[in-house]
Amino acid sequence: MDILEPEVNPSECGDSCCSSERKSHHSEKTKKNLVTRLNRIEGQIRGIKGLIERDTYCDDVITQISATQAALNSVAKLLLEGHMKSCIVERIQEGDNEVVDELLTTIEKLMKK
Half-sphere exposure in the Cβ direction for 93 (13 Å, CA): 14
Global pTM reads: 0.74
Query: Cα 87 vs. chain centroid, distance in angstroms?
Result: 14
- Output DSSP code: residue 16: G
Query: Is the model's pLDDT at 8 over the cut of 80?
Result: no
Is residue 19 within 8 A of residue 98, CB to CB? The reply is no
- Percent of the chain scoring above 90 in pLDDT: 69
Residue 84 CB contacts under 8 Å (≥ 6 apart), including other chains: 103
List, in order of start, the domains of the chain with CATH numbers. Answer: 26-111 (1.20.58.1000)
Query: Is the model's pLDDT at 100 over the cut of 70?
Result: yes
